[in-house]
């Protein structure tokens, strides 16, 4: 199976895991080399930025991009999984709390916050995913970690419905955020729906639907495909040195940069004290 190369912003439907989507796309696109910049649970929908072929080398660089979600919160109770797929373990009020009460607690969850991820998560402890331990009935201690939430806004509020617009950084669990907001309100709840609307500068409104992808023609390549990442140009001589894994002198400021020769990616480099050092190289076009 020959590899194809590029980036595909995709609107994932509900009812499929992120890996179900990848398994379906591999034969359609004629490639096995697929990466992503963040998965979505089966009950969730929205934007996945998929990477194919050589572009999978950018996964670590692009996964750090901020994300945006529409989160629907259900106050019928807290569940084992903190979302609609779990069983209720603590009944809630059944109605959405007063808007003023919600607005009063939301600032506690903005900025750098300590968050305990859900027990049913893919985080590994002792080399095994936590959800596997939880499914066996094991008691799992999940350590808190610091995550960044840039903002939370109420976009819909009624006695039956609460929808939040959440902008956050890497590693934030929206279902844990909903759980903790409910705890702050003394109103046990869970996440009943989730839609990712943005990944960095990528937006779901311009993403392809799964049924629209019938071949590699939907993949984006070159500069237009790589958004929210610092880019720079190099000449042919510097590109050759980078392809060989050698350093290249530069006057650019320090930081991670993706180098291009024309519209072809050359290497993801780290600039330190005037020297480019290769972190991931792209084969010559």
Please state, in angstroms and as integers, the Cα–Cα distance from residue 79 to each residue in 123, 148, 175, following that order: 19, 24, 10
Residues 15 and 75 grouped into a single domain: no
**pLDDT tens-place string over residues 181-203:** 999 999 999 999 999 999 999 99
Residues 59 and 96 grouped into a single domain: no
Residues 72 and 186 grouped into a single domain: yes
Residue 57 lies in a domain: yes
Residues 171 and 235 grouped into a single domain: no
Residues 118 and 170 grouped into a single domain: yes
Average pLDDT (251-277) is 97
pLDDT above 90 (res 120): no
Residue 154 lies in a domain: yes
Residue 195 lies in a domain: no
Residue 196 lies in a domain: no
**pLDDT tens-place string over residues 75-108:** 999 999 999 999 999 999 999 999 999 999 999 9
pLDDT above 90 (res 133): no
Residues 239 and 271 grouped into a single domain: yes
Q: Which domain does 253 fall in, by range?
A: 231-281
Can you give the pLDDT at residue 32? 85
Residues 84 and 181 grouped into a single domain: yes
CATH assignment at residue 263: 2.30.130.10
pTM: 0.91
Residues 60 and 71 grouped into a single domain: no
Please provide the distance, in angstroms rounded to a whole number, between the alpha carbons at the two ends of the chain: 19
Indicate which residue of 3, 11, 20, 41 is catalytic: 41
| Beta strand 88-91 pairing with 45-52 | unpaired
Residue 185 lies in a domain: yes
Instruction: Say how many domains are in the chain.
Output: 3
User: 69: closest CA among 50, 84, 51, 47?
Assistant: 47
Active site residue 41: yes
Give one word for 57, left, alpha or beta, with left for phi > 0 and alpha for psi -120 to 50: alpha
Residues 41 and 78 grouped into a single domain: no
């Amino acid at each position: 199976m020959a590899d194809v190369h590029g980036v595909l912003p995709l609107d994932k439907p509900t009812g499929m895991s992120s890996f179900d989507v990848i398994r379906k796309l591999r034969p359609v696109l004629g490639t096995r080399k697929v990466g992503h910049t963040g998965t979505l649970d089966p009950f969730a929908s929205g934007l996945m930025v998929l990477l194919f072929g050589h572009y999978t080398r950018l996964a670590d660089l692009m996964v750090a991009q901020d994300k945006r979600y529409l989160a629907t919160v259900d106050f019928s109770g807290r569940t084992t999984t903190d979302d609609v797929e779990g069983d209720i373990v603590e009944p809630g009020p059944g109605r959405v709390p007063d808007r003023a009460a919600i607005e009063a607690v939301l600032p506690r969850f903005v900025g750098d916050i300590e968050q305990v991820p859900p027990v049913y998560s893919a985080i590994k402890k002792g080399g095994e995913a936590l959800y596997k331990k939880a499914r066996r009935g094991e008691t799992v201690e999940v350590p808190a970690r610091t995550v960044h939430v840039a903002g939370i806004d109420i976009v819909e509020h009624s006695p039956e419905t609460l929808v939040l617009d959440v902008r956050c950084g890497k590693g934030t669990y929206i279902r844990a955020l909903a759980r903790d907001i409910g705890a702050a309100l003394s109103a046990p709840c869970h996440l009943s729906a989730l839609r990712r609307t943005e990944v960095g500068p990528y937006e779901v409104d311009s993403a392809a639907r799964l049924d629209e992808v019938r071949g590699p023609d939907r993949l984006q390549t070159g500069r237009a495909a790589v958004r929210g990442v610092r880019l720079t140009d190099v000449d042919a001589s510097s590109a050759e040195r980078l392809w060989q894994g050698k350093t290249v002198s530069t006057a650019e400021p320090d930081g991670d940069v993706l180098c291009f020769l024309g519209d072809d990616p050359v290497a993801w480099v780290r600039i330190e004290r005037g020297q480019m050092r290769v972190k991931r190289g792209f084969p010559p076009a």
